[in-house]
């Protein structure tokens, strides 16, 4: 791919015109990992962190964020999401809180950014909810795990 699709003839950033692309079902799955102490992970797992239900609040924050992705990422297209789901899991022994986000739509462009935004904001929400008990929490990764649909077809992270 030699042509930069997000630049106009003068080299200025622009939103890509997807008007001629076929409509297809699209899906993306992303993950964020927050690393914490075992003690903090156990408090989140038990649901007794000082600010309350960390995973529940993070789930709702991620859903809200996915719906606002086009407002946050300048060149993203606003999409009618048919589904956005965010789930959280705690591995207390490893000191990890894993947030998974799935986004789906039927449209002319993909939902990778919506899934990534949901996972990232869910992780940021976890950080906010636990910072009173652990300032050293680390958002260790935010990655796309898989996507399907569209011209480029299916893709899955190998690892």
The whole-model pTM stands at 0.91
What are the start-end ranges of the H helices in the chain? 38-46, 54-67, 69-72, 112-130
pLDDT score of 55: 98
Kindly state which CATH superfamily the domain 24-156 is placed in.
Answer: Molybdopterin cofactor biosynthesis C (MoaC) domain (3.30.70.640)
Decide if pLDDT at 125 tops 50. yes
Q: How do the domains of the chain map onto residue ranges?
A: 24-156
* Distance in angstroms (rounded) separating the CA atoms of residues 59 and 156: 23
Render pLDDT for 71-123 as a digit per residue (tens, 0 to 9). Answer: 999 989 999 999 999 999 999 999 999 999 999 999 888 899 999 999 999 99
pLDDT score of 11: 79
Residue 153 has which token pair?
A: 């077809």
Q: 58: phi > 0 → left, psi -120 to 50 → alpha, else beta; which?
A: alpha
How do beta strands 24-35 and 96-107 pair?
antiparallel
Q: What is the mean pLDDT of residues 126-139?
A: 96
Q: What is the mean pLDDT of residues 18-32?
A: 90
Candidates 8, 91, 128, 154; catalytic one: 128
Render pLDDT for 38-67 as a digit per residue (tens, 0 to 9). Answer: 999 999 999 989 999 999 999 999 999 999
Catalytic residue list contains 154: no
Residue in 135, 49, 61 with CA at minimum distance from that of residue 92: 49
């Amino acid at each position: 791919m030699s042509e930069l699709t997000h630049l106009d003839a003068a080299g200025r950033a622009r939103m890509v015109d997807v008007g001629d692309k076929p409509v297809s079902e699209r899906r993306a799955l992303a993950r964020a990992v927050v690393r914490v102490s075992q003690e903090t992970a156990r408090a989140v797992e038990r649901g007794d962190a000082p600010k309350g239900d960390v995973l529940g609040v993070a789930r709702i924050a991620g859903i809200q964020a996915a719906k606002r992705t086009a407002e946050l990422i300048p060149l993203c297209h606003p999409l009618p999401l048919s589904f956005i789901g965010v789930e959280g899991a705690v591995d207390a022994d490893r000191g990890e809180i894993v947030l998974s986000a799935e986004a789906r739509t039927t449209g002319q462009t993909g939902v990778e950014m919506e899934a990534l935004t949901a996972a990232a904001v869910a992780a940021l929400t976890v950080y906010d909810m636990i910072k009173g008990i652990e300032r050293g929490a680390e958002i260790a990764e935010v990655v796309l795990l898989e996507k399907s649909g569209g011209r480029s077809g299916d893709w899955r992270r190998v690892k």
